[in-house]
Amino acid sequence: MRKYIAEFIGTFVLTFVGCGAASISGGINGVLGVLGIAMAFGLAIVAMAYSIGNISGCHINPAVSFGMLVSKKMSVKDFCFYVVAQVLGAIVAAFMLKTIGSMCSPVISGLGTNGYGKLSYVNLSMMGALIVEVILTCIFVLTILGVTSKKENSSVSGLVIGLTLAFVHIIGIPLTGTSVNPARSLGPALLEGGKALSQVWVFIVGPLLGALIAALIWMYLSESAKKTKNS
């Protein structure tokens, strides 16, 4: 149960800080801009990795958990409960952001949702958004699988993962707002409704496909490395 609570807290923090930075600061043309928002997401991961990483592994992302499941690093039971905890954490974070936004003058809305077409800064198409999310999630999950595969990396893994999340956000924010995390997308979309909710499927399917590809790549590469070492 402690693992699931940790995942709830971690996803809450990631969504509250990352999506909050995007919405409250005025978005891509706001005070923080692309780099500031990207760093908010990245630093949230770093903070959580070093605080709950030893409890749950700090997935705080259904795509990461799916990658771990496919690569046989977690059980089906844990995967299911992790995803439930992550989605609930994101929903509660979005609710808190919406509540705080309603107390501002003028009222702040948006919640850092993802989107394509008119909801994309560059009017990216639906297929383009799906491809972007697959690629960026693949990069992110592959990095996680790699850096966490060796115990000697434990002291720096949180920093590496956080910086990776930041750099995929730098390219992804103008394109889709960057999801690479179905929970982070679903929570704000549920509270925002409208087009954000109707488009959220892309930001669930894309990251899961990206995680699947990353896990398959990692298993192939790690198996090849073992064969080379043993030969």
Q: Give the DSSP per-residue string, 134-191.
A: HHHHHHHHHHHHHHTSSGGGTTTHHHHHHHHHHHHHHHHTTTT---S-HHHHHHHHHH
> What's the pLDDT score for residue 9?
97
Q: Residue 45 in 3-state DSSP?
A: helix
Q: Using CA atoms, how far apart are residues 184 and 5, in angstroms rounded to an integer?
A: 17
Structure tokens that stand for 31 in this block: 């005070």
Q: Which two tokens stand for residue 85?
A: 């905890």
List the pLDDT tens digit at each of the 231 positions of the chain: 899 999 999 999 999 999 999 998 888 888 899 999 999 999 999 999 999 999 999 999 999 999 999 999 999 999 999 999 999 999 999 999 999 999 987 888 789 999 999 999 999 999 999 999 999 999 999 999 999 888 888 789 999 999 999 999 999 999 999 999 999 999 999 999 999 999 999 999 999 999 999 999 999 998 766 666 666
Give whole-number Cα distances, 69 to 52, 133, 161, in Å. Answer: 19, 19, 18
Q: Give pLDDT, residue 105.
A: 78
| First-to-final CA distance of the chain | 43
Tell me the CATH architecture of domain 2-230.
Up-down Bundle (1.20)
